[in-house]
Structure 1
Amino acid sequence: MRSKLAEAFYKNAAKMPEKMAIWCDGESMTYAEMANLVSRYSNLLLKNGVVYGDHIAIPMNNSIESVALLFSAADLGVCLVPLNPTLPLEAIVSAMRSGDMKHLIARKAFFVECDKKGGIQVEGVSVCLDGEYGDTVPFAQIETMPDSRPACEKITGDESLILTMTSGSTGKPKPIDISQNNKYDRAMAHIRVYGITKDDRILAATPLYHSLAERLVILPMVLGATSILLPRFTPALWLNCAKEQKATFTIAVSAQLAQILDALSKPDAPSIDNFHCIVSSSALLEESVKYKLIEKLNCEFHEMYGTSETSTITNICFQKTANKQKSVGLPFDEASVRIWDEDDARDCIPGVVGEILCKSTLACKGYYKQEALFAASIYDGYFRTGDLGYMDEDGYLYFAGRKKELIITGAVNVYPNDIDEIVRRIPEIEECAAFPYPDDKLGEIVALAIVPKEQEEVRIRSVKAYCARHLADFQQPHKIFIVDALPKNALGKLLRMNILEHIGALGLDN
């Protein structure tokens, strides 16, 4: 059997060879050109000893070649392990060991940096994407490869296609094992929910070593639509690209959308009216940001909730659910949700906060070679997300925060998101985050980190007075720190549990 992902792509190339398949950083390819590139990439890998079932590490940059590799891997039954190229070498080596990576594809600068630190060894082939280096195979060799699609008839769909690396509390990589069928079925579910068609131009603006961008480049290729891939994200690049390339659909992380709104608010901002749907992902978006984006972009605005392990679990369209503005929506047809009270070992009644458990036919295979760890995250067939939330009487899910971020002060549960929502209303504040601070008497107390707006001054006394008026007694911040920035990951998602360490490193925790 052939790969469903690759089959869908090649069928689109046969049906519409001259249609633009992908655009990235000023370059574009038709479906015919992209099919030739995918086939040549497959033949390059085969010639250099890559076989069915092998794992390939790739410090992944956003490029047309990276997307071609994704479909090449699917067609050959090979597994890719996309890595953040900015990670320290030690972290990359650790990830490679966790993922049993046999081959390596990277840019010359990566190999140079590795050699400065003792080098990096792989059992199989190393391919240099942009030139010649040492004993690596130059990617330019692809020009001599045949553009005929190689035969690989033993694909079942259960083959690992992507190992997505995340870190547990110990810092040891957890390779999330996503099969070919997972990726295909996830794409089909999103096409259905968001009404995506072959006429769409789908914008991807997150790194390809994250599952979101992978989803956004797979969607158009299996549907016959057009992929618009940003090489990197800045608000200005996003706006200009969205306008010039006439993007019609995207999923963006909430941190990006907040920056995009700031850019749209400037006098010289372009006017954009080509989107029919935008989806917010990764973390809750402020309500005021949602409303302003809806007004400025004039399109359907959705919010989704999910995990890398389970894919998207819930979705909501805000224009269609005026009375559910703080919800993250109803479950996909493929999913179900429970709210679990661990202390009483029972499901929570509507309105009561507990841990979000979810089950989905879109879920991953598990953690690669860490079966016991994955099994520990399953209860009664449901994945334990580590997130807190509640459901209302209508079955809508509401996100309350990460379980490990819960502040327990004197046996009282305090949800930091509730505090953030109130404090960020202070006009002088750009960002804020409540977090747990250790205390001898209460175990933990509420602390608050604040980033002032540019050229604004935030007075701690004024913040305390505001909190006294608008927050409950148990929510009052006992410590307030003014900082230039909050710790975030590569997608701009707040790392709340790193704030205390961040403040200590700044010398503010005295």
Structure 2
Amino acid sequence: MSIPVGEEGLTPSHSPIYALFALAAARYPDKTALIVGTRRLTYREIATRVNHLAAGLAAQGLDAGSHLGVVLPNGIEFVLLMLAAARLGLVLVPQPMGSTGEALAKAFQATDVRHVALWHGLLPRLVDSTALASIAGTRICAGGGASPAGWIAFESLLLPPQPLQTQREPSVAAASHPYLMVLTSGSTGSPKPILLSQETKVARARAAIDLYGLHAGDCILTATPLYHSLAQRLVLIPLLIGATSVVLEHFSPTAWCAAIAEYRCSFSIAVSSQLKQLLPDLHANRQTLTSLRCLVSSSALLDTPTKSSLLEALSCEFHECYGASEIATATNLHAQMDSTKFGSVGKPVPGADLLILDEQGRTASAGNPGEILCRTPLAFSGYYAQPEKTQAAHLNGYFRTGDIGKIDAEGYLYYLGRLKDLVITGGINIYPKDIEDLLTGRLGIEECTVIAVPDSRLGEVVGAVLATGVGRQAPDLRAVQRLCAKCLNDAQQPRHYFIVDQLPRNAMGKVDKPALRRRFATSEGSAA
């Protein structure tokens, strides 16, 4: 039994993602819907494969509420699985391809994963790991040839069911039930699985569609890992509105520019580290990127010099957004229209309400720093099986982001860093961004990030990690010290300098400060 598009009884209240996709497929059956590498699928072809996959998964015992761990690369398989899971009401738990067996075991345990879809190339490394020991249900192997014993080939689930084969009638979950569990990044402590419903994913998609004026004529490029909430939203948006979705299997500046030029992509959201890598190629390929109508920077904050360089290289709208997996996009900066507010991350998007909470728990006045709190209809449903942490993350209906910022008199938000990255020296709060902004791009310093270094007298002091770029000469630390002495107050002065070629980053391009703290916290570094 196949599951036809638009099956009677399937309403948006059950699966709004599948219902919207089915509507797009009915309107544009022969239009190219998805491009990954050399592979292209029309809306009709995707609908057929999703129907077969949903029936195949149901036949294997997966039904509404089943938790399915997903360790797949950017590819057609991942996209089909997202749509089939929406159809059935499954709960997907995507994980990075580079995860160790130990990390996967921790993630699967925290999310009660009982089924898994794994890329074939990972089997030799993970088949005997503790990560798979708790998988009592279906094991799916994708992308390879014959599957090992005990595993089902993903490709076999895409075949039409046999006419006489008895199939379980798949059930569907309500739209407000969990659809995705996205685990918070971080290298220490227990993971916090962020619950996102189909209802929320659709609301987030619609918010982006309205904010950036997206429509069926767009071609939208996804170039970040699909296990992350941002990429999931970006790859779904075109499939819900009848546009074309292009997914990069692996990001590189050359591949990104080539995809824009070949497929005439009009919109994308990139992480800030990608944009920094793209700058030379954007300048060099400006004439071939004319289809790009709007580009958005997400994840980590861009420094002002990079924003200026991007505006010089681009001939399209450029935006920068601030948000988190728990709340989606909270603010948006239109770089061309808000050119006098370059240091900010913009104003709240429609529906979002921000406030800044000072150290005494009071609402901070304009221009004064504190923790950023956000109330939004796009918020997550809580942390899975962690009610205490869910409660602690909220205050009077606002989500506590754990970020530090300030809002000026005109309502623009300025991001100052993470609360956990704050340096408290002799009782004085030091915001890393003040020092990072001063040193980045000057005196031979490609990038700078600031960490707290323990100090017996002051508790902790400022440590500046200076990245020079691979193969480049170390900066003149005395010149760096003179600049800091001129522009920073005494408490802000870095007491330690650490020279590296490049700053370590996670898959979403954010600087891995915990790794730097582990590496340098007990080191004396260099003194100018």
In the superposition, the TM-score normalised over structure 2's length comes to: 0.92
Give, in angstroms, the shift of residue 504 of structure 1: 6.4
Q: Which residue of 1 aligns with 2:313?
A: 296
Post-superposition Cα deviations, 1:448-501, rounded to whole Å, max 9, x if no partner, equal 111113433312222112222232332211111111222221122112233132
Amino acid at match of 2:394: I
* 1:9 shift after superposition: 0.5
CA deviations 1:52-82 (Å, max 9, x no partner) are 1101001131001111110110010111000
Most deviating of 355-364 and 108-117: 108-117
- Alignment partner, residue 181 of structure 2: 163
Corresponding position of 1:359: 375
Given candidates 295, 299, 303, the residue that maps to 1:278 is 295
Match of 1:417 in 2: 433
Equivalent residue for 1:184? 202
Between 1:359-368 and 1:140-149, the stretch displaced more is 140-149
Determine the structure 2 residue equivalent to 1:391: 407
Contact 2:87 2:172 in 1 (8 A): no
Q: Partner letter of residue 373 of structure 1?
A: K
Aligned-partner residue type, residue 425 of structure 1: G
User: What is the deviation of 1:192?
Assistant: 0.4
Partner of residue 77, structure 1? 89
Q: 1:206-251 deviations in whole A, cap 9, x for unaligned?
A: 0001011101011001111110100011122111112212111111
| Residues 104-163 of structure 1: CA deviation (Å, up to 9, x unaligned) | 111223222123446723121101112211210112313432499997674421121100
Q: Distance in 2 between matches of 1:365 and 1:169?
A: 23
Q: Please, which of 461, 468, 471 is the counterpart of residue 485 of structure 2?
A: 468
Name the count of aligned residue pairs: 508
Deviations 1:325-378 (A, max 9, x none): 2111111222111100132x2100000001001111111110011111110111
Query: Helix, strand or coil: the match of 1:127?
Result: strand
CA distance 1:399–1:383, change in 2 (3 Å): same
DSSP-derived class of the 1:56 partner? strand
For 2:26 and 2:83, locate their aligned partners in 1 and report how far apart those are by CA, in whole Å: 15
Which deviates the most, 154-163 or 74-83?
154-163
Q: Which moved more, 1:35-44 or 1:138-147?
A: 138-147
Q: 2:457 corresponds to which residue?
A: 441
* SS of equivalent to 1:465: helix
Alpha-carbon distance in structure 1 between the residues aligned to 2:455 and 2:520: 16
Q: Which moved more, 1:450-459 or 1:212-221?
A: 450-459
Decide whether the 8 Å contact of 1:157 with 1:179 is kept in 2: yes
What amino acid is aligned across from residue 138 of structure 1 in structure 2?
Answer: A
Amino acid in structure 1 at the alignment position of 2:319: H
SS of the residue 2:336 aligns to: helix
1:221 aligns with 2:236: no
Would you say the 8 A contact 2:58–2:170 is kept in 1? no
CA separation of 1:269 and 1:317: change in aligned 2, threshold 3 A: closer
- The alignment status of 1:501 with 2:518, answered yes or no, reads yes
8 Å CA contact 2:299–2:509 kept in 1: the answer is: no
Match of 1:87 among 99, 109, 113: 99
Structure 1 residue 140 corresponds to structure 2 residue 140: no
What is the letter of the counterpart of residue 350 of structure 1?
Answer: A
The answer to whether the aligner puts 1:198 opposite 2:210 as a matched pair is no
Deviation at 1:276, TM superposition (A): 1.0
Q: 1:59 to 1:479 in 2, by over 3 A?
A: same
What runs of 5+ residues in structure 1 fail to find an aligned partner? none
Which of 379, 388, 391 does residue 375 from structure 1 map onto? 391
Distance in structure 1 (CA, Å) of the matches to 2:344 and 2:185: 28
1:108 aligns with 2:120: yes
CA contact (8 A) 2:29 2:43 kept: yes
Q: Which amino acid aligns with 1:299?
A: C
SS in 2 for 1:199: coil
Cα drift, residue 391 of structure 1: 0.8
Q: Does 1:57 align with 2:69?
A: yes
Identity in percent: 38
Distance 2:35 2:162 in 1: 21
Kept in 2, the 8 Å contact 1:42–1:150? The answer is no
TM-aligned CA distance change 1:274 to 1:119, over 3 Å: closer
Aligned equivalents of 1:199, 1:506: Cα separation in 2: 55
For the residues of structure 1 that align with 2:162 and 2:301, how far apart are their CA atoms? 45
Q: What is the RMSD computed on CA atoms of the aligned residues?
A: 2.2
Determine whether 1:478 maps to 2:495.
yes
Distance in 2, Cα, partners of 1:221 & 1:424 = 40
Compute the displacement of 1:187 (Å): 0.3
Please tell me whether the aligned partners of residues 264 and 270 of structure 1 are also in contact (alpha carbons under 8 angstroms): no
Match of 2:251 among 227, 233, 246: 233
Structure 2: unaligned runs, 5 residues or longer: 1-10
More divergent stretch after superposition (145-154 vs 133-142): 145-154
Q: Which range moved further: 288-297 or 183-192?
A: 288-297
Q: Deviations over 1:372-396 (max 9, x none)?
A: 1110111111111110011111222
Query: In terms of mean alpha carbon deviation, does 160-169 or 23-32 score higher?
Result: 160-169
CA distance in 1, matches of 2:39, 2:490: 57
Residues 419 and 273 from structure 1, CA distance in 2 versus in 1: closer, same or farther, beyond 3 angstroms? same
SS, match of residue 238 in structure 1:
helix
1:125 aligns with 2:141: no
Q: Which amino acid aligns with 1:145?
A: P
1:308 correspondence with 2:321: no
Which has the larger displacement, 155-164 or 355-364?
155-164
Q: 2:474 aligns with which of 457, 467, 483?
A: 457
- Cα deviation, 1:271-314, whole Å, max 9, x if unaligned, reads 42211111111111111211221221211111111111111111
Does structure 1 retain, via aligned residues, the 8 Å contact 2:115–2:137?
yes
> Shift in Å at residue 171 of structure 1?
2.1
| Counterpart-to-counterpart distance in 2, 1:259 and 1:147 | 50
